[in-house]
């Protein structure tokens, strides 16, 4: 049932108002769908939002964004999907150098 839900269904039916939270849910559902087809879960599924917000941002040297990443529940799957626009719009990363640093660290 969850596999067939679109963004409107997630927002209205499940009350998931944050677009980042909807993305996280969609990415997890897709990952589990692929796992059922024999691929197994992605390596990104092993990285929870606590690790991303604390350890990963610390390693990248941008711990000042920890609270925003934690509030938006950015885990390994979401991290791999982030764009420059996401960093600016949702995570309040407005400095271009910080955006570039984060995107390069994700690669």
- Both 55 and 98 in one domain: the answer is yes
> Are residues 31 and 76 both part of a single domain?
no
In the structure, what pLDDT confidence band is assigned to residue 3 with cuts at 50, 70 and 90?
Answer: low
Structure tokens at 28: 């997890």
Residues 16 and 64 in one domain: no
**Long-range contacts from 9-18, C-beta under 8 angstroms, 24+ separation:** 18/72
Query: How many residues comprise the chain?
Result: 107
If you average pLDDT over every residue of the chain, what do you get?
90
**pLDDT for the residue numbered 62:** 98
Based on the fold, state whether residues 50 and 92 are members of the same structural domain: yes
- Domain identity same for 68 and 97: yes
Q: What is the pLDDT of residue 79?
A: 96
Any idea which residue has 């849910």 for tokens?
25
Name the percent of the chain lying above pLDDT 70: 93
Query: Could you list the residue range(s) of the whole structural domain that residue 31 is in?
Result: 2-36
What span, in angstroms and rounded, lies between the C-alpha atoms of 1 and 68?
Answer: 31
The stretch 45-56 carries a mean pLDDT of 96
Residue 35, CA distances (Å) to 10, 12, 13, 38, 39 in order: 22, 27, 25, 5, 5
For 16-50, the pLDDT digits (tens) are 788 898 899 889 888 888 888 888 888 898 999 99
Q: What is the pTM of this model?
A: 0.85
Q: Are residues 101 and 50 in the same domain?
A: yes
Which of 42-46, 50-54, 61-65, 71-75 has the weakest average pLDDT? 42-46
The answer on 59 and 26 residing in a single domain is no
Q: What is the pLDDT of residue 15?
A: 81
């Amino acid at each position: 049932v969850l596999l067939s839900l679109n963004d409107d269904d997630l927002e209205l039916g499940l009350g998931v108002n944050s677009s980042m939270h909807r993305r996280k849910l969609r990415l997890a559902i897709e990952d589990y769908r692929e796992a059922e087809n024999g691929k197994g879960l992605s390596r990104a599924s092993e990285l929870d939002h606590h690790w991303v917000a604390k350890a990963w941002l610390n390693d990248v040297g941008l711990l000042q964004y920890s609270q925003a990443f934690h509030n938006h529940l950015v885990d390994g799957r979401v991290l791999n999907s982030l764009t420059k626009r996401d960093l600016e719009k949702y995570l309040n990363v407005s400095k271009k150098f910080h955006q570039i640093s984060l995107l390069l660290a994700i690669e």
